[in-house]
Amino acid sequence: MASEPGTCVITGAGISGLLAARELRNAGWGVTVLDKDRGVGGRMATRRVGAGTFDHGAQFFTVRGERFEALVEEWRKDGVVREWTRGFADAEGKRNEDGHPRYRGAEGMTSIPQHLASGLDVRTGERVVRVEIRDGVWEATCESGTTVHGTALLLTAPVPQSLELVESGGFTLPADAGRQLREIAYDPCVAVMALLDGPGAVPEPGGMQIRGEPLDWISDNQRKGISEAPGMTIHAGPQWSREHFDEDDDSLSRAVLSFAEERLGGLGAKVIETSVARWRYSWVTSPHEDSCLVAGDDPPLLFAGDAFGPAKVEGAALSGLAAADALLGRVT
C-alpha cells in the first residue's frame, strides 16, 4: 500500500495493535499507539487483588501456524512466555491431556503485551474521542485534548467501538466495508476473581474448561504459576453474562461463586476478597473471514483485532501482522 515509510496512529494497545506497531516501526514508520486503559494488553489482562495475581481475561493461548510459532519461540527465549499444560480438566474435573501445549505469560498474560510495548510510543490513559481527515492525514483527538496525526489509521479496538469512533468525525465508510463490519458480533463475559485463604479446589493443572452455562471456565492462578497467593478466576457463560451484565459487583460475585462452589463441591478455602471484571466484547461469535479489513486508501484506514481471521490470541496476533503487511505493501 505504501511505497515509502509513513506515520500511523493505532487505537488499541492489545496484541494486534502492538504487533502492528512493531512491524511498522521496524520498517521505518513513525507509530503512535493510543489506549484508554491504564495499561497495555486489552483482554490479555492481569490484575492484583490483595496478595494475589489473577489473569481475568484471556487465560492461555495455543499455537497453530508457523508465523505465530516463530513469535512465541522468541518470547519463550526472552522469558516472557511459558508452557502451562497440555490439557485441562473437563466439566467433571477429569484431566484431559491431548499433548497440545497451552501457553501463558510468565507473570500473567499481561507479560506479553508489556514486552511488545517496550520501545514503542504507547500512550495509555488516552481515550480517543474523535478521528477525522485533515489536510490529507488522519487526526485523532483524545479526551485529554491531545491530538496525534498519521498518514494511516489502524483501529484495533472491538469493532462496535471502532465503528463509533470512525463515524465521530463524519467519515463515511464504503457501503460494503460498513456492512461487513456490522456483521461482526460478540458475546460478553463476567469474570469474578476470588482471593482465598488457602488452596482452592480446582483440580490440576489449575484450569477447568466447562464451556457451558452458567459457567464457562474456572482457574487457580496459584497452580497456574502466576500468583503467590491462592485465588480463582471464574468466567460466567455468555448467556448468563449477557442477562446479568449490569448487576452490581456484589451480586455478580455471590452468584458466580455459588456456581463454582456447586461445580467443584466446595471452593476448598474461605474467600477473603473478590473483584469483578466485565468484558462486553469477549467471545467473537461472528468474525470477519479475513485477518484485517482495508476500509480506505487515501489516506489508509484499516480495521484489525481478534474479530478478524482465525480465533483467539493467535488470530489477534496474525490480524495485527496482516494490517502491517497491508500498509507495507507486503504480499504474504
Kindly tell me if the per-residue pLDDT of 1 is higher than 90: no
**34 neighbors 11 (Cβ within 8 angstroms):** yes
- Res 266: pLDDT: 96
The three grid cell numbers given for residue 9, joined into one nine-digit string: 496512529
**Three-class SS state of 251:** helix
- 212-229 pLDDT, tens digit each: 999 999 999 999 999 999
- Res 4: pLDDT: 81
Q: Buried b / exposed e across 261-276, counting CB within 10 Å, b at 16+?
A: eebbeebbbebbebbb
Please, what is the end-to-end C-alpha distance for the chain in angstroms? Answer: 13
List all residues 6 or more positions away from 100 whose beta carbon is below 8 Å from its beta carbon.
Answer: 62, 86, 87
DSSP 197: S
Q: Dihedral angle at the C-alpha atoms of 261, 57, 55, 114, nearest 10 degrees?
A: 180
Domains of the chain: 7-36+125-184+287-328 (3.50.50.60), 46-64+78-106+185-286 (3.90.660.10)
The three grid cell numbers given for residue 157, joined into one nine-digit string: 479496538
**203 neighbors 224 (Cβ within 8 angstroms):** no
Measured between alpha carbons, how far is 146 from 143 in angstroms, rounded to an integer? 7
- 85-127 pLDDT, tens digit each: 999 988 888 888 898 999 999 999 999 999 999 999 999 999 9
Nearest to 303 by CA among 168, 158, 167: 158
Q: Confidence band (pLDDT; 50, 70, 90) for 33? A: very high
CA distances from 143 to 109, 126, 130, 168, 242 (A): 28, 7, 9, 13, 29
**122 neighbors 116 (Cβ within 8 angstroms):** no
Its pTM stands at 0.96
Give ∠ CA 303-309-315 in degrees, rounded to 5: 95
